[in-house]
Structure 1
Amino acid sequence: MPDDDTYRQLISLLDTSSVDYRLIDHEPEGATDTVSALRGHPVSQAAKCIVLRVKVDRRTTRHVLAVVPGNRRVDLDAVRTLFAARYVGFSDAETAQRLARAVPGSVLPFSFDPDLELVADPDVVAQPRLYFNAARLDRSLVISGPAYAELARPRVAHIASPAPA
């Protein structure tokens, strides 16, 4: 199963890097608000991971994994500006699952596919504790934002909607 392979790849990466992390088992859930409640943390500490299709021009399409705090949305206009693109939209489910190597709701804030460019909002990498599903709907992981940034090496840019008041 591809998501089992992705889970194993993630754990291998974490173990070989000697980064502190913790696994959390919970009921299967992929919705950010619900799984944050199951894990017992504020939604703002969750990594919401969305696969986007970015049309730079008529012939060039890129795929981007956008990572924003769980209580915010991806700002598609900010992503369009970042890539000087003509169009940015959500990827179809089949493409997202193939590139992210995980089912919807369990997408990691890591890219293990060279065709999926990783971009994280600065508020994600600044989190003292960052929570996300670990390529499984029934298991999550917590790691510090700076450790995540060091391992995942995302492009860091303001791509989240404004924080709620």
Structure 2
Amino acid sequence: MPDHDTYQHLISLLDASRVDYRLIDHEPEGATEAVCALRGHDASEAAKCIVLRVKVDRRTTRHVLAVVPGDRRVDLDAVRELFGARYAGFSDAETAERLARSVPGTVLPFSFDPDLEVLADPDVVARPRLYFNAARLDRSLVISGTDYARLARPRVARIAVPAPAPAQEGGPPGA
């Protein structure tokens, strides 16, 4: 899948909309914590983007791009309830890549596919600075949450919960 096409689409959108943005080149990285360290900011300022499959009923499946702060995780129960669905879970890799038009670790908080609805946590659109990989592992972008919301037009709902604390080495299980 040519990720440079998605990158070019994003840059064209930002330029045509006259949005103030900054590009950041860095070592290739897709993991949120690692790329935040390379870019030099807190994970709460990152947009973590995950493609979900939401089964509304036996015959209706929707695909949703969930965008949450980088230091949190998607609350699948909240997504399920929001859509009045039977099930909400992670999409398979092939479907996610096709709909997001990029590979894991480079998924944008924007959708360029009509079959992929954008759903963002309110803490994402409230950020003064929002960082995300720009459909490439070696280049990121920073824009304001306000500009992001204006361009991406996400459905905004509380869908993020705290990420589990990392396990401490050498401590007792469950500590």
Q: Is the 8 A contact 2:73 2:163 kept in 1?
A: no
The residue type equivalent to 2:107 in the other structure is V
Deviation readout 1:135-160 (Å, 9 max, x if unpaired): 00000000000010001100000000
Q: What SS is found at the alignment partner of 1:66?
A: strand
Please show how residues 43-62 of structure 1 align to structure 2 within 5 Å.
43-62=43-62
List gaps (5 residues or longer) in structure 1.
Answer: none
Aligned residue number for residue 73 of structure 1: 73
Note the alpha carbon deviations across 1:11-53, whole angstroms, 9 max, x for none: 0000000010000000000000000000000000000000000
SS in 2 for 1:27: coil
Instruction: Give identity over the alignment, percent.
Output: 84
- Corresponding residue for 1:26? 26
Q: CA RMSD in A?
A: 1.3
Aligned residue-pair number: 165
Gaps of 5+ in 2: 166-175
Distance 1:157 1:10 in 2: 24
Structure 1 runs (4+) deviating above 3 angstroms are 162-165
Contact 2:52 2:91 in 1 (8 A): yes
Question: Alignment partner of 2:113: what SS?
Answer: coil
Give the superposition deviation at 1:2.
2.5
Aligned counterparts of 2:162 and 2:4: Cα–Cα separation in 1: 34
After TM superposition, the score normalised by the length of structure 1 is 0.98
Q: Contact 2:53 / 2:62 at 8 angstroms: preserved in 1?
A: yes
